[in-house]
């Protein structure tokens, strides 16, 4: 997978539209196209890394920036009081479909069991 055929790299480049909710120099957050909760936002590094282990090895500071962005999104979306969940699906058992690392930020309603 290269950045030229990566869906989320195309969103970063502006070649595919997305409902952006938060952005920094190094991160971007946008609404999931198929929301699994009342609030469902994806947070990505703008640079291409396939998954969380790859990102952590290549650029741990950027991994921290993604986490900070996830927290900022939760606050901006009004999720701090009710609570929320942050998930990095990684690999086949977790059903990862897009191999540009992304945090799912889920909330806005009770979320049910952890594995779902
Ligand atoms: P994964 O299963 O890889 O953890 O999650 C990929 C997520 O990307 C899914 O929740 C899916 O709904 C979302 N998604 C797939 N294609 C698009 C798209 O073109 N735009 C947006 N905003 N989300 C997408
Ligand atoms: Zn990418």
- Along the 116 residues of the chain, how does pLDDT read in single tens digits? 557 899 999 999 999 999 999 999 999 999 999 999 999 999 999 999 999 999 999 999 999 999 999 999 999 999 999 999 999 999 999 999 999 999 999 999 999 888 65
Per the listing, tokens 């991160």 go with 27
Q: Which of 8, 33, 73 to mutate to test the pocket of ligand 1 (most atoms within 8 A of CB)?
A: 33
pLDDT score at 116: 54
> Are the C-beta atoms of 102 and 88 separated by less than 8 Å?
yes
- The closest of 72, 83, 70, 76 to 111, measured between CA atoms, is 83
Q: Give catalytic residues, as residue numbers.
A: 102
ipTM of the complex: 0.99
User: How far is Cα 104 from Cα 44, in angstroms, rounded to an integer?
Assistant: 9
> Are the C-beta atoms of 35 and 19 separated by less than 8 Å?
no
Domain 3-107 coded CATH 3.30.428.10: yes
The pTM score is 0.97
Å from CA of 58 to ligand 1 middle: 23
């Amino acid at each position: 997978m290269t950045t030229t055929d990566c869906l989320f790299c195309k969103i970063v480049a502006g070649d595919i539209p997305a409902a952006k909710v938060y952005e920094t120099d190094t991160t971007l957050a946008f609404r999931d196209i198929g929301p699994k909760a009342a609030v469902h936002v994806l947070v990505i590094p703008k640079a291409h890394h396939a998954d969380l282990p790859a990102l952590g090895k290549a650029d741990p500071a950027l991994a921290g920036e993604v986490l900070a962005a996830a927290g900022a999104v939760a606050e901006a979306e009004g999720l701090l009081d009710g609570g929320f969940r942050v998930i990095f699906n990684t690999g086949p058992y977790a059903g990862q479909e897009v191999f540009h690392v992304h945090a799912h930020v889920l909330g806005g309603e009770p979320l049910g069991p952890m594995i779902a």
